[in-house]
Amino acid sequence: MVRRVAIIGAGVAGLASVKCCLDEGLEPTCFERSEDIGGVWRYTDSLDGGRVTVYRSIITNTSKEMSCFSDFPCPEDFPNYLPHSLLLEYYRMYAQHFGLLQHIHFKTTALSVKKHPDFATSGQWEVVTETDGIQESHVFDAVMVCTGRYQKPYLPLASFPGIDTRFKGQYLHSWEYKDAEAFRGKRVLVVGTGSTGGDLSVELSRVAAKVFLSARSSTWVYSRVSDHGFPVDMVNTTRFNHFLDWLLPSALLKRIRFWKFNSWFNHANYGLASTKSSYFKITLNEQLPFCLLSGTIVLKPNVKEFTESSAVFEDGTTEENIDVVLFATGYIFSFPFLEESVCSLSNDNRSLYKYIFPPQLEKPTLALIGLIQLTGSVMVGAEMQARWVTGIFAGQNKLPPTSRMMADVLKKSPVKRNPSERENLKISFISYIDEIASCAGVKPSVLRLFLTDPRLALAVFFGPCTPYQYRLMGRGKWSGAREAILTQWQRTLKPLRTRVVDDSSDGRRWMCLLALPVAVTVGFLLSKYPRLGWSPQASPQL
């Protein structure tokens, strides 16, 4: 019987895990090597002993309503996209509200996590920690590793001949970047067109003499602001759109998606992406197109090699007098405290059952939380993982036999790509959260809501798939979930109402009237076709 649970790390995944343990009546002990909560979102000016943190100017890519804890909405006066300082403030509010801090041991490093000698029968773990130079050994019934994805910078120097032998300038990984001042007046080459590479290129373009951005593959650029000014994830991440993704042929969906990307600007004209690309990634950045249009950023292909002061690209062009090369090439997993037999199973999240459990362990008492890369908020994914895992530890949920877990893992076997590309092999947000929610018994039944609460059903199916939906039913049901869903647009608009203008038109009433017949039709389809997964025969909630 699991009772005492060790939690490694007090970032967002660690906080959610502590709270979920308490909800299940377990006894969590969280070990955090730094002096505060927040993980990578706790910004510091120094490199702080190798701890990976965000840069000074970062703004979240997911909106507050789509990335909050499922039973603790973000304050309504907070902006929709948060700087690191406000996000950390929100985490502090969450920790204080649920009394989490008393379960966290700060400035305590987990040195090793090893199987107890009788692990095959007990499932227990020996955890050795160090605080102020003093080591201590503990025995826990289960361990939740919450150190996250951003642990060890991936710096592929071997892929860039000459960078560490001939090149006389400076090169560094983006985790060392804090702000742009140190690059004033310099010619900078940024390698990587993910979210970080795009953000840093834009910021550097304001102070650097010139910024070059090197792209290995096609990159589609998207704005965080939707066509009508709402957060784009609240508009796009809906169960209705998810239903269309399931219904329509993949080739047609791809064409629609490319058309939508190009409706903002033609990506081929900018050299960013082609509709013929077999592999591509998506980055959120409102300012990058204008910087390319104004020439403050120059897009280049992949680097072939470096000379003493220049970069030679695969198309044969050369850029001279490069002062700094900034690698925005992602991160790799690192679990130095796990014993080798377990660590080998955990170094690739796709070798884990549901991206959480090493399937070959004799006892399912080790879980890795927050290693997923979703099309939506990883914070929401980490909380849902923690809810399911703690339910298993408490005996409320069960894992399938090892053979079935291995078969599931093999179906999702990893594509051989380098870590910077794997960063962009994202999993569908709704698909994954629904999958884990089904395992935990907390997935909302859309059909039941249409039958019992039509107003809420419309908001759940056609509105944004906010985390509150997973508190409507099952274990951990929250009485405030319905109200949170019905008022989510009010919290979205609240921080914008700093200057009120008269607008008597009310489009929302017309939208509801137009949506009603569609909702009735969809409700009929959901009840008629079991393949949709929401019929009385297919839904465990009905």
CA distances from 1 to 4, 122, 140 (A): 9, 8, 11
HEC letters along 40-67: HHCCCCCCHHHCCCCCCCCECCCCHHHC
Give me the CATH number covering residue 194.
3.50.50.60
Task: Give the pLDDT confidence of 259-301 residue by residue, as tens digits.
Answer: 999 999 999 999 999 998 877 889 999 999 999 999 999 999 9
Task: Give the angle 168-169-173 at the CA atoms, nearest 5°.
Answer: 125
Co-location of 389 and 417 in the same domain: yes
Neighbours of 138 (CB within 10 A): 14
Residue type, 193: T
Q: What is the CA radius of gyration of the chain?
A: 24
Mean pLDDT (whole number) for 120-124: 96
Mean pLDDT (whole number) for 178-201: 97
Does pTM surpass 0.75? yes
**Percent of the chain residues topping a pLDDT of 70:** 89
**Residue at 137 is within a domain:** yes
pLDDT of 526: 53
**Residue at 488 is within a domain:** no
Task: Give the pLDDT confidence of 330-356 residue by residue, as tens digits.
Answer: 998 889 999 887 876 555 667 899 999
**Residue at 310 is within a domain:** yes
**Residue at 539 is within a domain:** no
Co-location of 356 and 208 in the same domain: no
Neighbours of 386 (CB within 10 A): 30
pLDDT at 155 over 60: yes
**Residue at 416 is within a domain:** yes
The token pair that represents 529 in the structure block: 């076709």
Check residues 2 and 219 and name the one with the higher pLDDT.
219
pLDDT at 115 over 70: yes
pLDDT of 414: 55
- Pick from 23, 139, 24: nearest CA to 394: 24
**Which residues touch 521 (CB under 8 Å, ≥6 apart)?**
none
Euclidean distance between the first and final Cα of the chain, in Å?
Answer: 31
Mean pLDDT (whole number) for 436-442: 97
Co-location of 145 and 158 in the same domain: no
- Pick from 49, 52, 50, 55: nearest CA to 85: 55
Co-location of 381 and 417 in the same domain: yes
**Residue at 383 is within a domain:** yes
Q: How far apart are CA 195 and CA 203, in angstroms?
A: 12
- Render the burial of 29-46: b for 16+ CB within 10 Å, e for the rest: bbbbbbebbbbbbbbeee
Co-location of 216 and 143 in the same domain: no
Task: Give the pLDDT confidence of 489-531 residue by residue, as tens digits.
Answer: 999 999 999 998 887 655 455 455 445 445 545 554 555 544 4
**Residue at 409 is within a domain:** yes
Co-location of 314 and 367 in the same domain: no
Domain boundary among 405, 431, 457: 431
**Percent of the chain residues topping a pLDDT of 90:** 81
Q: How far apart are CA 176 and CA 174, in angstroms?
A: 5
Tell me 466's DSSP state: -
pLDDT of 538: 39
3-state secondary structure of 265: coil
* pLDDT confidence bin for 255, thresholds 50/70/90: very high
Co-location of 285 and 413 in the same domain: no
pLDDT of 345: 58
Co-location of 170 and 291 in the same domain: yes
pLDDT of 112: 97
pLDDT of 518: 55
Number of domains in the chain: 2
pLDDT of 224: 97
Domain boundary among 372, 405, 431: 431
pLDDT of 515: 52
Domain boundary among 411, 431, 451: 431
The helix/strand count (H/E) of the chain reads as: 18, 20
The token pair that represents 496 in the structure block: 């914008």
pLDDT at 540 over 80: no
> What is the overall mean pLDDT for the chain?
90
Co-location of 275 and 208 in the same domain: yes
Co-location of 126 and 84 in the same domain: yes
> In terms of residue numbers, what domain contains 201?
154-223+264-329
Mean pLDDT (whole number) for 149-156: 92
Task: Give the pLDDT confidence of 68-110 residue by residue, as tens digits.
Answer: 999 999 999 999 999 999 999 999 999 999 999 999 999 999 9
Task: Give the pLDDT confidence of 413-430 residue by residue, as tens digits.
Answer: 655 555 544 444 589 999
Distance of CA 378 to the CA centre of its chain: 3
Co-location of 170 and 311 in the same domain: yes
pLDDT at 258 over 80: yes
**Residue at 325 is within a domain:** yes
Task: Give the pLDDT confidence of 445-504 residue by residue, as tens digits.
Answer: 999 999 999 999 999 999 999 999 999 999 999 999 999 999 999 999 999 999 988 876
